[in-house]
């Protein structure tokens, strides 16, 4: 992926982050998922007063795509921060990494961006080593 494409994906994640429903943690997250045919699905975190139904931005984006039978993914950009101020880099939680494991290849690119469009990038295999997946079943 080219540098400008990564920055564009981060821009889209920043837009998605604005839709975050996070009245309990006040931590807003946005994600932009790129499919292999260059479609982008956006997601934001959506919290709940009973806490456990809360869903992360990454899973919203992934499930939106899957629900439309779009299941080939190249990359995801993630942004997040307290009160939507995306200054730091927000890594995906363990549950989201495991969901990525189910549907994405080892070299699926996870791009952690900030509001200045700076980023760090990782392959899924780097951030979820020794993972359990369908090949064990």
Residues lying near ligand THU in the complex (CB under 6 A)? 22, 25, 27, 29, 45, 47, 54, 56-58, 92-93, 96
Minimum distance, C-beta of residue 126 to ligand THU, in the bound complex (Å): 16
Minimum distance, C-beta of residue 97 to ligand THU, in the bound complex (Å): 8
Nearby residues of 67 by Cβ (< 8 Å), 6 or more positions away: none
The residue annotated as part of the active site, out of 3, 5, 47, 58, is: 58
58 given a catalytic annotation = yes
Decide: 91 and 81 in contact? Cβ < 8 Å: no
By C-alpha distance, which of 43, 39, 46 is closest to 58? 43
Minimum distance, C-beta of residue 56 to ligand THU, in the bound complex (Å): 3
CA gap 137, 133 in Å, rounded? 8
Residues labelled as active-site residues: 58
């Amino acid at each position: 992926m080219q540098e400008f494409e990564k920055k564009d994906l981060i821009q889209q994640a920043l837009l998605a982050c604005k839709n975050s429903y996070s009245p309990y943690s006040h931590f807003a997250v946005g994600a932009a998922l790129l499919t292999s045919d260059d479609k982008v699905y956006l997601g934001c975190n959506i919290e709940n007063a009973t806490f456990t139904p809360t869903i992360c931005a990454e899973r919203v984006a992934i499930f939106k795509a899957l629900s439309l039978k779009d299941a080939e993914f190249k990359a995801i950009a993630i942004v997040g921060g307290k009160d939507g101020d995306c200054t730091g880099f927000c890594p995906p939680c363990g549950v989201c990494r495991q969901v990525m494991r189910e549907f994405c290849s080892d070299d699926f690119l996870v791009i952690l961006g900030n509001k200045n469009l700076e980023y760090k990038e990782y392959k899924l295999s780097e951030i979820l080593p020794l993972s359990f997946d369908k090949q064990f079943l």
